[in-house]
Amino acid sequence: MSISVIGANKRYGDFAALDDVSIDIPEGSLTSLLGPSGSGKSTLLRAIAGLDSLDSGTVIISGNDVSGAAPQKRDIGFVFQHYAAFKHLTVRDNIAFGLKIRKRPKAQIDAKVDELLDIVGLTVFQRRFPSQLSGGQRQRMALARALAVDPQVLLLDEPFGALDAKVREDLRKWLRRLHEDVNVTTVLVTHDQQEALDVSDRIAVLNKGRIEQVGAPDDLYDRPANEFVASFLGSTVRLNGELVRPHDIRIGRNPEMALPAADASLDTGVIKATVQRVVHLGFETRVELIAATTGDEFQAQITRGDANALNLQAGEAIYARATKVAALTDS
Ligand SMILES: Nc1ncnc2c1ncn2[C@@H]1O[C@H](COP(=O)(O)OP(=O)(O)OP(=O)(O)O)[C@@H](O)[C@H]1O
């Protein structure tokens, strides 16, 4: 079911947590609300859920104006970062909870819970209590519990926020597959650009209570509306005054470094720079540099293979050139 928020405003005293926010979230999409801490992501999600009221504005779910409706009337599933499971109930009973209070027939509840246990991969743990699960397993249980009542909309507020990087990455992939299987309109709040790029069909970038840009991940990455979006979705550096992604910088020991054929027409100029530090990050290597004429610090991201071939040393003088600049679509 689609969601539309129109002209949402929410103030806390003098502070505008949401400043005239409008967004359309298409049916069946997985849309991320991405932005720095305090940008209003949770406030927007909670307004969609009905957990917080708006000062003004409209929330429409599936064509119905639900602006004044209580959360339980909005047909949503909600998962928070710190999910409050019922500690005294087993995994199975936690997932069944919403169905039991809705007094569904036992056979129907059993069948639904079996299906969800399978989807979230917790069948073998169904008799355990929440305290006997890992953090990642507990969040999967939370998602199963939210999905049990077949919500029209699934709202996730940093659901993997408290987990370590590897588990987060696994759960992201898992969420993506889950979304393909279940296909419920999902809104995910995250401050992690990698997470948003990885799982979403669409990303809305928030900043200071406003939406800066909404679009497909590739659109936002390749055609950012402004410098904020460009920098928030991956790092950027300034080279000869242009905004450039570190992986679009070529470096070499001579100024005639060949440009790839596709970029032959692009001439952003070659600059001389000094290697400050070479940091190996697995597949990629970050080369920290200082521009010779301006003293500006910037960095290039190259493959480990290229880094090994170049064998750069700190203090060495090299040449750098941008092969692509970030085109800001609003300017
Ligand atoms: N109940 C409240 N009273 C006063 N200020 C609030 C309240 N709730 C939120 N705010 C403020 O509104 C702003 C937006 O908060 P919100 O939780 O939506 O941000 P966020 O983007 O989700 O950030 P985070 O990633 O840190 O959770 C913040 O500056 C916050 O301090």
- What pLDDT does residue 325 have? 80
Q: Is the pLDDT of residue 309 over 60?
A: yes
What does each C-alpha distance from 186 to 49, 118, 142, 189, 199 come to in angstroms? 12, 20, 15, 10, 11
Question: Could you tell me which of 57, 53, 21, 64 has the C-alpha nearest to residue 40?
Answer: 21
Cα-to-centroid distance, 188 and ligand 1 (Å) = 16
Smallest CA separation from ligand 1 atom 16, residue: 40
Share of the chain above pLDDT 70, in %: 95
Q: Which residues line ligand 1 (CB under 6 A)?
A: 12, 17, 35, 37-43, 191
Say whether pLDDT at 35 is over 90: yes
Q: How many angstroms separate the CA atoms of 221 and 243, rounded?
A: 13
Question: The whole model's pTM is what?
Answer: 0.85
Ligand 1 mean position, distance from CA 307 (Å): 43
47, two tokens: 């307004």
> Using CA atoms, how far apart are residues 5 and 60, in angstroms rounded to an integer?
6
Asked if CATH classification 3.40.50.1820 holds for the domain at 3-231, the reply, yes or no, is no
H or E, element range at 109:
helix 106-119
Does the structural domain 244-257+266-322 have CATH classification 2.40.50.100? yes
Measured from the CA of 39, which atom of ligand 1 is nearest?
Answer: 21
Res. 147: pLDDT tops 70? yes
Domain layout of the chain by residue ranges: 3-231, 244-257+266-322
Res. 210: pLDDT tops 70: yes
- Strands of 249-313 (E only): list them: 249-252, 270-281, 284-291, 297-303
Nearest-CA residue for ligand 1 atom 31 is 38
Residue nearest to atom 28 of ligand 1 (CA): 38
Q: Across residues 265-281, what is the average pLDDT?
A: 81
In whole angstroms, give the CA distance from residue 200 to residue 172: 10
In tens, the pLDDT along 64-121 reads: 999 999 988 888 888 887 767 889 999 999 999 989 988 999 999 999 999 989 888 8
Dihedral, CA of residue 45, residue 51, residue 52 and residue 54, to nearest 10? 70
Q: Whose CA is nearest to atom 22 of ligand 1?
A: 42
